[in-house]
Amino acid sequence: MNMGPLNEGIAIALGNMVDDASGTLRYPSHSDLDGLTKRAELWLADPKSQNQVVGKRKRIQAVLRYAIDNAPERGRRLVYLLLASVRANGGFRVDSTNFVGREVIVNLAQLFRTEGYVLSTDGEIYPLVLDGLPDKDVTEVLRSYVRRAQRGAEDAGLLLGTAKDLMESVARHVLFIKTGQTQFRQDFPTLLGQAFIQLDMKTPHHKKVPNDPVMADYERSLYDMAITLNRLRNKEGTGHGRLFLPSVGDTVARNAIQSMGVISGYMLDRL
């Protein structure tokens, strides 16, 4: 992981993102950019390394354009590092003096999507689809969605770019890791039940026995909650609209998203 997408448009947009606005200092600073280009092993492509005096916008655009033609993996690494620096300096926070501007963020997010990535509103990068990623990377990406869900961020259920929500994606991932299975039952209760079984978790279909551990009841409750949450989903959505049915208010939606994070996180921990 630790890579971002890169093309000509992204190179231009990222240059604009780090540029000093109207003569006001914006972080990352020139000194910060020195370190970032060196970490990405692109320092020699930086005009500053050639004693050229240029602004931050032209510096970054020159380095990334060089990377597109000569070192794309290093360029993708620099994209990731640049966004991490902008994020750490408050560039994605509206209330920050270092906020880069909504238009800049929206423009960059649209360019990312054309390359198969999502740029979230707080500056995190996620693959739009998980197919083809190494298993450990899929697990890492799903964990990042879980963390967003546990914070109540609605896009945690939408970042996959499909109509599949977080719990279903986790269940499919569990079955693939445990069985190598790539074809799955379409109905969510069966899919989730199969994943629970592979994780040695209890569902309501497992009858209670004398001295049943309390964790067995906890896992049965998680299954029941997951089924209820699935019923709240907007099944007509395309992955880009509201996650829940229109009748579900914002408070309930936030609570439901956090619950999805709890269930999904527990499953990944058992995996």
Provide the residue ranges of all domains of the chain, joining segments of one domain with +.
8-128, 166-270
Inter-residue contact 124 to 144 (CB < 8 Å): yes
CB atoms within 10 A of CB 85: 19
Inter-residue contact 222 to 206 (CB < 8 Å): no
Average pLDDT, integer, range 104-119:
87
Instruction: Return the beta strands (E) in 44-201 as ranges.
Output: 117-119, 125-127
Q: Measuring CA to CA, which residue among 266, 235, 254, 258 is closest to residue 170?
A: 266
Burial bucket for residue 171 (CB in 10 Å: 0-12, 13-18, 19+): buried
Looking at residue 1, what is its pLDDT? 54
CA 226 to centroid of chain Cα atoms: 21
Average pLDDT, integer, range 62-79:
96
CA 98 to centroid of chain Cα atoms: 23
Q: Is the pLDDT of residue 162 over 50?
A: no
Q: Measuring CA to CA, which residue among 106, 111, 87, 82 is closest to residue 98?
A: 87
Gap between the Cα atoms of 227 and 188, Å rounded: 8
Three-state secondary structure call for residue 174: helix
Looking at residue 270, what is its pLDDT? 93
Looking at residue 161, what is its pLDDT? 43
Task: Quickly state the pLDDT bin for 197 (edges 50, 70, 90).
Answer: very high
Task: Quickly state the pLDDT bin for 242 (edges 50, 70, 90).
Answer: low
Check residues 45 and 186 and name the one with the higher pLDDT: 45
Count of alpha carbons within 13 angstroms of residue 121, beta-carbon side: 9
**Best-predicted range by mean pLDDT (111-115, 216-220, 239-243):** 216-220
Gap between the Cα atoms of 25 and 29, Å rounded: 8
Instruction: Return the beta strands (E) in 83-209 as ranges.
Output: 117-119, 125-127
Considering the entire predicted model, what is its pTM?
0.67
